[in-house]
Structure 1
Amino acid sequence: MKKLMQLALVAILLTACGKPKGELVGAGAKGSFHEANPYGMVYIKQGAFMMGINNQTTIFSVPDKQVKVSVSAFWMDETEVTNDEYKQFTNWVRDSIARLLLFQQAGMQEFVKPDRFGEIDEENPVLNWKTKIPWDSQEEDVLLALDQMRDYDGSIDPNVMHYRYEWINLDQAALPKNRFDAKRGCFGPDAECRVDTSWVEYFGDDHLRGEIKDSTIVRKLVQKSDLLANRIVNVYPDTIVWIRDFQFAYNEPLLSMYFNHPGYAHYPVVGVTWEQAEAFCHWRTELFNQNHEIRGQRYRLPTEAEWEYAARGGRKMALYPWGGNYVRDNQGCYLANFKPMRGSYTDDTGAVTMKVASFAPNDFGLFDMAGNVSEWTSDAFNPSSNKWIHDMNPSFQYTANAEDPAILKRKVIKGGSWKDVAYYLQCGTRTYEYQFEDRAYIGFRCVRSFMGE
């Protein structure tokens, strides 16, 4: 009994010691946070460097101004996103459409989850990913539901692969007129926001195939949800780029096999627009957050400054990612996959794209930061942007509205590709492509801002 009394007294004392007693002790976070290494990504430490081309520019081009900038730490994919990795995205979109069809048209409630009250939201159901899709079922209801997704040859029709996502339009939230008035407890009387919205105009009675329409609307800013924008993107890569981009060239084998054949699984995905790459980043973020108790920073495309800093590998004046001023090593071997000479694509052992990580990484451990495929960045392209960007985490962002002219939809691409000459492989070289265009020589990789200690 005496021991029990002693234990009870100790418990009371410990409990009393844990109470704040009117002092400021914080909200209850315990210890320090250490971010786990994201799979397949490399840590890029913070640093400063001279941004811009540090060699001669091409004839008649506008010379870039070199500026010294600082970049915060971030994570970056060690290779470009591969066909196999991007296929995980397209398979997810395919399976989500199939589950929705089986619920809505075949009445199979096992493909959705009820809410906490046991009710199912008919309009926006929560999909159940544990139930296996009966792709080979011969039941009439299942066949009728899933056949809507199929093309004439029985394969899944790429035209139905639509992905819808939402985001907060932060550039509109940051406008001076949209400042929240803390004194009044609301936004100002002139607060309004321009947001993008997408919808599909379906073809007749077909509720899977249709034309994606984009529009920009202006609405009064009353609450945070008014800043929500949405976009619908067809996510399947455009494999026809292998013929469209290269007239009078026989590339049909790549058209039919590059994205689908397992032999190309670890090659960089191409035929993907900037908008599709953005959709992939959003999906990857949601995939991570749904499987982790603590939400992480979002996956995104790198800014031009982040990309260039990472490409230099910590060598502040490096001309190429490997640190040297030449495209050959001491043995005369090429150090990247590009076009060494006129009409000669194969001297570097690759004719078109090659498997990722076919060449040595740079000092940060990143592969293929020069050659193989050019890479999308998040920055809008302006030849003079280096003259006014900030020197801390510089980024020239512009979210083009649906009605904007094409010139405002140019995005910076970096790194050069298998079809480019050595000049475009230099770390500081920049060029552009329109955000709605897909090419057989442009891919991408993701980054994620580092947080914690």
Structure 2
Amino acid sequence: MKNIYIYTLGSFLMAVTLLSCKPKSAVSDKTGMAYNKQEYGGFQVNNKFKRGPGPGLVEIEGGVFVMSGSAIAIPGQELSEYNHKRETTVSSFYMDETEVSNTNWLEYLNWIRTNFPTDYEYYYNELPDTLVWRRPLSYNEPYVDNYLRHPAYQDYPVVGVSWEQAERYCAWRTDRVNELLLRERGYMTSFRDLNGSNGTAANATTTNRSTAPFSTGAYLTGQHDDRGKNAIKDLNPANAAAGQNAGANSGTRNVRLEDGILKQPYRLPTEAEWEYAALGLIGNTQYENIYENKIYPWSGLGVSSAKKSTRGMILANFKRSKGDYMGVGGSLNDKGGLTVAVRSYLPNDFGLYNMAGNVNEWVADVYRAKTFEAADAFNPYRGNFYTDKKVADPATGRVELDKYNRPVMVAAASPRKQTWAEKQAAAAAGVPDSARVTAYADQRGYRDPATDLYGETTLINDKSRVYKGGSWDDQAMWLNPAARRFLQQDQSTADIGFRCAMTMLGAPEIRSTGKPQFKQRQAKPFRSR
């Protein structure tokens, strides 16, 4: 009954969303021309857009905070070198409620095996390194075979994944979420019709749809042609006329970015976003005044609960001392020896679980010891490498796709929009995009003092990525949200996992109800007669 209720509620919400996305007629306040009408050129505007998070995400209302302001002294390490305290503003965004679990990752592997059954390299490259459990003087061999796949650990955070694997998972998740939205709402062929019923798959060749795996990038460039029963009507007069005899899909089009239906890409959070979300100062703030700072994702200076019903219980999964991973038998202090389920303990004031302990978490940034002395005060981030879709046919604008039906990305050819003459001159000269990269395309070394990059011996380079949060194998000092360490982006360990984030578009305020607002006035309607 519970599953029936969930699906029924989900179908209702999808129907409401579909209705809300249907554009209504409006008039331009600058030209007087009507929107969403074929006779006026068919310019379509969704003036009923309502944003919302993708599956698994919660809303994080942004704001100002002191980056590294919660830092505590670490023996043998000066705070000045640990991170630079600086007032910083973070935009509102979405973040995963929990860490990505083993089941989440097995879903990824299953999709690869189903859609690319003979591509053994693809499957192998996405396998976590389960050998991270092996240690010369520990008997951890059972975890090598069991931790990822056995149902006893299905809700535990995936480990043994590199930063690069986490990035690829985010891209895959983006495509699956957007495909679900399009198919379940009828903009594309439904999963039921795509895969058939009673075990009989539908014939894709008779329904005029692409058989390649769905990719958001290919779909937005018009290179994944699949229209469902609720496909959006194309109001462009030229396209409508050309499509009159084009079959079932005549007069319809793919969903566009302007329709506001597709979700933004899932990605790793920036270091600033992660630290802001972990602190959860929203619970300690009133009228822009923070009345109590935090050194952990919870309030107070201790690591155990002060509530009467749970007094003394440890609030996170970490190592209390060099040898105490879980406490005394019969009275386990944090209920875990290694990792624990991703929904363990209490969420912080943003509703996020395990922002301290359990596993460290990859963030997007390239590591530099003194990043925030130079980084911008608004959405600070180090690691920009600007890319563009590789154009396969300049005349039609079609982009080159790889064997997984995803756009091929190349380094940005220019820091600004090139003029048409510049683009044509480069094309006529046969200069490939990769040969026209400017220094501006890679900002990872921007404003770096030479001493930060080079020396007689250094482990820091442009592939050193930040991880944060502390883990089951760390002591309490690493639970502080300001704590930061680094590892090479192609390496993995048994105590590093990750969670995803997503950019929130539009106004930063999430809920305006009950808050003072300036009244917005609508434009006066234009009347031509």
Shared fold per TM-score greater than 0.5: yes
Residue 162 (structure 2) pairs with residue 162 (structure 1):
no
- Name the structure 1 match of 2:315: 335
- Name the structure 2 match of 1:287: 176
Give the Cα separation in 2 of the matches to 1:444 and 1:18. 44
- Name the structure 2 match of 1:274: 163
Larger deviation, residues 386-395 vs 36-45: 36-45
Over 3 Å counting, the alpha-carbon distance change for 1:32 and 1:23 in structure 2 is same
C-alpha contact (below 8 Å) 1:93/1:161 kept by paired residues:
no
Residue 139 (structure 2) pairs with residue 250 (structure 1):
yes
TM-fit CA distance, 1:452: 4.1
Residue 8 (structure 2) pairs with residue 41 (structure 1):
no
Give the Cα separation in 1 of the matches to 2:121 and 2:111. 10
**CA-to-aligned-CA distance 1:372-430 (integer Å, 9 cap, x gap):** 000000000000001011111111115599xx997221111010000001010001111
User: Within 5 Å, which residues of 2 pair with 1:104-253?
Assistant: 160-162=120-122, 234-243=125-134, 246-253=135-142
Residue 98 (structure 2) pairs with residue 79 (structure 1):
yes
Over 3 Å counting, the alpha-carbon distance change for 1:303 and 1:18 in structure 2 is closer
Residue 320 (structure 2) pairs with residue 344 (structure 1):
no
Give the Cα separation in 2 of the matches to 1:369 and 1:266. 16
Give the Cα separation in 2 of the matches to 1:377 and 1:433. 11
- Name the structure 2 match of 1:23: 32
Give the Cα separation in 2 of the matches to 1:19 and 1:341. 67
C-alpha contact (below 8 Å) 1:377/1:412 kept by paired residues:
yes
Aligned amino acid, residue 41 of structure 1: L
**CA-to-aligned-CA distance 1:341-360 (integer Å, 9 cap, x gap):** 12110122211111111100
Give the Cα separation in 2 of the matches to 1:292 and 1:417. 35
**Structure 1 gap ranges (5+):** 1-16, 102-148, 150-159, 164-232
**Structure 2 gap ranges (5+):** 1-24, 36-42, 183-260, 285-289, 328-333, 386-441, 444-452, 454-458, 508-529
User: Within 5 Å, which residues of 2 pair with 1:56-67?
Assistant: 56-61=73-78, 62-67=81-86
Aligned amino acid, residue 441 of structure 1: D
Residue 310 (structure 2) pairs with residue 301 (structure 1):
no
Residue 279 (structure 2) pairs with residue 312 (structure 1):
yes
Over 3 Å counting, the alpha-carbon distance change for 1:253 and 1:19 in structure 2 is closer
C-alpha contact (below 8 Å) 1:357/1:367 kept by paired residues:
yes
TM-fit CA distance, 1:325: 1.7
TM-fit CA distance, 1:261: 0.5
TM-fit CA distance, 1:28: 3.3
TM-fit CA distance, 1:54: 2.9
TM-fit CA distance, 1:24: 5.4
Q: Which of 433, 442, 445 matches 2:496?
A: 442
Aligned amino acid, residue 312 of structure 1: L
Over 3 Å counting, the alpha-carbon distance change for 1:234 and 1:24 in structure 2 is same
Identical residues among aligned pairs (%): 40
How much is the aligned-residue C-alpha RMSD, in angstroms? 2.4
Give the Cα separation in 1 of the matches to 2:371 and 2:460. 18
**CA-to-aligned-CA distance 1:222-276 (integer Å, 9 cap, x gap):** xxxxxxxxxxx81111111100xx3210001111100011111000000000000
C-alpha contact (below 8 Å) 2:55/2:177 kept by paired residues:
no
Residue 117 (structure 2) pairs with residue 90 (structure 1):
no
Residue 479 (structure 2) pairs with residue 411 (structure 1):
no
Q: Which of 359, 369, 391 matches 2:377?
A: 391
SS at match of 1:408: coil
- Name the structure 2 match of 1:12: none
Over 3 Å counting, the alpha-carbon distance change for 1:55 and 1:303 in structure 2 is same
**CA-to-aligned-CA distance 1:179-233 (integer Å, 9 cap, x gap):** xxxxxxxxxxxxxxxxxxxxxxxxxxxxxxxxxxxxxxxxxxxxxxxxxxxxxx8
Give the Cα separation in 1 of the matches to 2:326 and 2:74. 26
C-alpha contact (below 8 Å) 2:130/2:160 kept by paired residues:
yes
**CA-to-aligned-CA distance 1:102-158 (integer Å, 9 cap, x gap):** xxxxxxxxxxxxxxxxxxxxxxxxxxxxxxxxxxxxxxxxxxxxxxx8xxxxxxxxx
